[in-house]
Amino acid sequence: MSDANSQSASLAPERVATLLGRAAVIAVLLLFMVGWLRAMGRPWVCPCGTVELWQGALTAEENSQQFSDWYSALHVIFGMALFGFVHAMKPHWATGAKLVVAVASSAAWEAMENTPVLIELFSNATNAVPYFGDSILNAIGDTLFVALGFLAAAKLPAWMTVLIALALEATIAFAIKDGFVIGTLRLFGVDI
């Protein structure tokens, strides 16, 4: 066996250990997020009694309660933006290490988003879509969509990532009259 082959073979267990370590950290982050959400009184699944992979209608009782919905696309965009930010701050970090930061950021957002203060802020925005907080199923789905957006941005050229993000934002704006831009304007009292 050549030196190069013996080095790569000897690194394989170290790489597996690193990957398993990062996966364990991500699992712990998700468990902490779930624990926090349960402590905040968030339901496991939609109190409406159904569990669905996709919820496309904007109904007050099911918004942010199913695994995925129109807002899942916004979490993909958030993941793409997190990749850009973390990569700019730590360009030499491995993608897996950056992913851990993205999942931690998403879990922190889900914890904050489901506090009474932010639920009230989003609910009382001008012409807001009804929002009563996320189910735990939805929060887990949102975090997985952040990871998906992050991994897509890690593989795609920057220009393509930006185009996809703009297309997703436009789709949400036209489909349900919401999104990052419209939602932010509503928070500032703009009547849209």
Query: DSSP labels for 58-93?
Result: --TTTTTTSSEETTHHHHHHHHHHHHHHHHHH-TTS
Q: Assign 88 a pLDDT band (cuts: 50, 70, 90).
A: very high
Q: Stretch 175-183: mean pLDDT, rounded?
A: 95
Q: What is the DSSP letter of 41?
A: T
Which pLDDT score, from 0 to 100, does residue 164 have?
98
How far, in Å, are 142, 158, 189, 192 from residue 125 at the CA level?
Answer: 22, 33, 7, 10
Is 156 a member of any domain?
yes
User: Any bridge partners for residue 68, and if so which?
Assistant: 54
Q: Residue 95: inside a domain, yes or no?
A: yes
pLDDT higher than 90, residue 160 = yes
Percent of the chain with pLDDT over 70: 94
Tell me which residue range forms the domain holding 85: 3-187
Residue 192: what pLDDT?
Answer: 86
Q: Which of 5-14, 87-96, 107-116 has the lowest mean pLDDT?
A: 5-14
**Would 192 be classed as within a structural domain?**
no
CB 74 within 8 A of CB 184: no
Judge whether 28 lies within some domain.
yes
What domain count does the chain have? 1
The pLDDT of residue 10 is 55
pLDDT score at 1? 47
The stretch 55-81 carries a mean pLDDT of 95
Q: Answer whether residue 106 is part of any domain.
A: yes
